[in-house]
Structure 1
Amino acid sequence: TPAGLIEQLMLKEKPHDTEWNELAALKVPLLLNYSQCKLLERDFYAVIEHCSEVLDKYERDSVKALFRRAKAHVGAWNPDRARADFERAATLDPTLGPAVAKELRQLQELVRLKDVEDKLKFQKMF
């Protein structure tokens, strides 16, 4: 993959030197675009992995990475992590407030439906 090739080149450079930073700047958009593709394919764990890499190694405050990882956490059923990522994205970029509020309402409804489903399952057990 292109990101893998960039990673190989980065291994030859000293971390945070000029050349390493230039390569990292190339890698971030590749990882974010790849994550968006994987999100559309509903490959949630790949999205979480690649967005976490962006956030942990390159851009701690990447709003795109946070928002995409939050959506992947919803799909992978990690509601608490999804909520935390959505809220952090909205804090970093207040213009996302309405979009984040919509996502959080949808998440809240999914959690409510899951609770109802779980209650029905437990009732059938007894």
Structure 2
Amino acid sequence: MTQRIIIETLQENIQLTQAIHYLNHAIEEIQFESCKSIRQRWTISEISLFDIAVQLFGDNNIEKLAQVIVSKSKSQIYFRIKYLNNKRIKQQNTQINNMQNLFSQMDLSQCAEK
């Protein structure tokens, strides 16, 4: 169980890294001058927040997300991303707890007999 959680966490990290690569191209494709200025104005860590936001909101909403980012301050975006990320983590923890509860209720006595 623990190994699977570790593997899933590593896979999520890989997905976020891929999202960063994807977003670097996506920002260039979006025809908003303001998005280009975001790239010039923001630091690497802030661009990473943008990448995480794309991961959380989904790839299909990049243009909408860009408009949101342009219209709001960086701190508002940061807290929104943090909220969504915490919500996602809570959902994952709930799923893990549900699986553990289900597993603990299972009768494993027959599993040993082969």
TM-score range, shorter chain: 0.3 to 0.5
Which protein is bigger by CA-based radius of gyration?
Answer: 2
TM-score by length of 1: 0.35
TM-score by length of 2: 0.38
Structure with the bigger RCO (C-alpha within 8 Å, sep 6+) is 2
